[in-house]
Chains A and B, each alone.
Chain A
Amino acid sequence: MDMKLTLEHVTKDFSGTLAVNDISLTMQDGKLTGLLGPSGCGKSTLLYMIAGLEQVTSGHIYFDGQDVTTLPAETRGVGLVFQNYALYPHMTVEQNIMFPLLNARVKKESAQKKAREMARFVQIEEYMHRKPAQLSGGQQQRVAIARALVKSPQILLLDEPLSNLDARLRLDLREEIRRIQKETGVTTIFVTHDQEEAMSITDELVLMKNGIIQQIAAPQAMYRYPQSRFVASFLGNPPISFFNMVAENGLVELSPNLKLKFPISLSGPVVLGIRPEGWALGSGIVVEFLSVSVRGREQYVSFMLHGQKAYAILDTENAVKPGDRLSLALKPYCVHLFDPENGLRLGKGDAHYVE
């Protein structure tokens, strides 16, 4: 069932605005790819172009090497799950799931049989004769997934499928989507603006901004080695803090006790990004806490560092309060260096301490 999806210079021009700007990429077959980005970044437009609901302005889309750029949506054999479920309100669950099969002129008995199998697969078989309005949001989305999968699509597209659900259901269904994708092995694209959601279930992440791909990587690799300031700031909560510093031959001095050497030989102004989880109580730099907010298993603190506000996540072993002056240590792998001009990452790999 898995299939290779290739985009070649795909562009979408909405009367002057480039929603998708010259995107080329190959999605891994049989994998779950996350399409991540802030709202309006073009990720949904890209998804709809793959589905065939939006026509591309220029460029080509290939399914297993076959050019489908001009094929209408109904003939592409793609399954799509919508944010608002888009179930047919006048049909029962069973009729909803059967609908794609009946459109393809499958005999009613075998369509019914397949619909039942699919309903069992997504665990909604007990609701077969209910109308969508009688189901919870999570159940409706399961029906929508069953409807998208029942015709054995070559590709499964999910357009923010969890956004309309409450937090608890979102967690459940996110695991469920992971399971379904694993078991069917269908090439899946999952669009979301929620970085946590994207990081937790995808095999690969594509991060977009203003119609342009910022970085393609496995989720953890993207978090660990962000290619740009934007990527670094988009992933992670609370977000990464940035500091304008000066590097000397790849060396940045935060305090006499805290000097970091980056794997690049460079002198001049740089932007230093420090993830909040990189800090811990220990010898390094003395700071005064401005605010403290305790969150059960950890506490968030803020302080001023080199004239800019910084955040840190500390464990709760030692209680701290605003006004405390304490010394913080820094984990070098949580620190990244960016070009202040174009925001791109400076240097591959991690930094390390220098005495």
Chain B
Amino acid sequence: MNLQTSALRMGRFMTTVKYILLILGAFIVFFPFLWMLTTSLKTVGESISIPPTLLPEKLQWENFQNAWNMAPFPRYFGNTILIAVVGTLLTVTITIFAAYAFTVFRFRGKSLLFMVYLSTMMIPTELLLIQNYVTVTKLGLIDTYVGIILPTLASGFYTFMLREYFMQVPSSLYKAAKMDGCSNWRYLWKVMVPINRNAIATVTILCFITQWNAFVWPLMVTTSDEHRVLATGLMYFNLSASSAVNLQMAATTIVVAPMVVFYCVFRRQIVSGIARGGIKG
């Protein structure tokens, strides 16, 4: 046997090892989801059997119905959609405005202010929530949609990201638009936004995920089911259904499923957005 074929065999062997390791890893990554799904379809007895059984004998679809009825999940869903959609639209709009101001305008203190925007990325929001809770309380916005959405609207990170894209639009287009009698407002909506629609879509998707998955801040400022979102609602559901693992998992599946679907639809944008932007703010 010569060296070449042995190297080839070695390569094939390594590839096989890689596939085995990757499948094993994927199983570990995926197992919690699998367990969540199967447990949500078990009886209480099956869900706490020793040793554990992975698959239920009979699929208990009514777990979902029971879980759905035990807590105001329609309300949580509505709240989450409302907050995520409105929060995302407002964030993206505000961010577009700010990125635009930092792109085509010339004004005193521009670079200093941009530095401020950049440095807000480094402030851990965990630190601010204490005072924001005080502020929101003072404004009388505790347990309101406005109170949940408002503090999350400005993002130094998204502003920075969009500005990077806006800056790539040649300044001669702005000059041309001026010569064409175009106002700043029209230039933004007719030229800047359409040219950067891909970048804006990416920011929108990343922002939507963040808004949908928000947990700590909604947990702090909501005191009633009326304004709870899915994630915090799930926590209160778990407290009330503390022993019924199967129902907890049915509820968890209900909470996790929409984002999984969202992921399947927008996978490409999500992945390229993260890869390009580094990390969400």
Q: Do chains A and B touch in the complex (CB under 8 A)?
A: yes
Interface residues of A (CB under 8 A from B): 48, 51-53, 72-75, 78-80, 82, 84, 86-90, 99-100, 103-104, 144, 147-148, 151
What 0/1 pattern do residues 170 to 210 of B give for CB contact below 8 A with A?
Answer: 10110111111111001000110011000000000000000
Q: Is the CB of B181 within 8 A of A86?
A: no
- For A48, the chain B residues whose CB sits under 8 A away are 175
**11 residue pairs bridging A and B, Cβ less than 8 Å apart:** A51-B179, A53-B175, A74-B182, A75-B181, A84-B172, A87-B176, A99-B182, A99-B190, A100-B180, A100-B181, A147-B180
SS class, residues of chain B in contact with chain A: helix
How far, in whole Å, are A107 and B260 apart by their CA atoms in the complex? 47
Q: Which of A74, A82, A147 has the most CB of B within 10 A?
A: A74
Is A74 in contact with B172, judged by CB distance below 8 angstroms? no
Write out the residue numbers on chain A whose beta carbons fall within 8 Å of the beta carbon of B175.
48, 51, 53, 73, 80, 82, 86
Which residues does B use to contact A, with CB under 8 Å? 170, 172-173, 175-183, 186, 190-191, 194-195
Q: Which residues on the B side are within 8 Å of A144 (C-beta)? A: 176
Q: Are B172 and A86 in contact (CB under 8 A)?
A: yes
Contact B181 A103 (CB under 8 A): yes
Complex Cα gap A100–B186 (Å)? 11
The verdict on A90 contacting B179 (CB below 8 Å), with A84-B170, A84-B172 known, is: no
Contact between B180 and A90 (Cβ–Cβ < 8 Å)? no
Query: Which residues of A lie under 8 Å from residue B170 when comparing CB positions?
Result: 84, 86
Cβ 8 A contact of B176, one of A72, A82, A90: A82
Contact B194 A86 (CB under 8 A): no
B178 surroundings in chain A (CB, below 8 A): 52-53, 72-74
User: CB-CB < 8 A to B191: which residues of A?
Assistant: 88, 90
- In the assembly, what is the distance between CA of A82 and CA of B175, in Å? 9
Determine the chain A residues whose CB is within 8 A of the CB of B172 once the complex forms. Answer: 82, 84, 86
Contact for B179 among A87, A88, A89, A148, CB less than 8 A = A148
Task: Collect the chain B residues with CB atoms within 8 Å of residue A148's CB.
Answer: 179
Nearest CB of A to B154, in Å: 28
A73-B175, A88-B195 are known; give 7 further A-B pairs, CB within 8 A.
Answer: A74-B178, A78-B179, A88-B191, A99-B182, A99-B190, A100-B179, A100-B180
In this complex, the member of B179, B183, B195 whose beta carbon has the largest number of chain A beta carbons within 10 angstroms is B179
Report the minimum CB–CB distance from A323 to chain B (whole Å): 53
Min Cβ gap B111→A in Å is 16
Tell me the bound Cα distance from A8 to B170 in angstroms: 32
State the Cβ distance, B132 to closest chain A Cβ, in Å: 39
* CB atoms of B176 and A86 under 8 A apart: yes
Q: Which residues of B contact A86 (CB under 8 A)?
A: 170, 172-173, 175-176
Alpha-carbon gap, A273 to B182, bound state (A): 50
Whole-angstrom CA separation of A169 from B190 in the bound complex: 31
Taking the nearest CB of chain B, how far is it from the CB of A57, in angstroms?
16
Q: B178 — nearest CB in chain A belongs to which residue?
A: A73
Contact of A89 among B181, B186, B195 (CB under 8 A): B195
Q: What residues on B are CB-neighbors of A151 within 8 Å?
A: 180-181
- B112 to chain A minimum Cβ distance, whole angstroms, is 19
Q: Which residues of A contact B190 (CB under 8 A)?
A: 99
* Smallest CB gap from B179: residue in A: A80
Residue of B nearest to A104 (CB): B181
A114 CA / B179 CA spacing, docked (Å): 18
Residues on B with C-beta less than 8 A from A51 are: 175, 179
Chain B residues with CB under 8 Å of A99's CB are 177, 180, 182, 190
B170 to chain A, nearest CB (A): 7
Report A-chain residues with C-beta under 8 Å of the C-beta of B180. Answer: 74, 99-100, 103, 147, 151
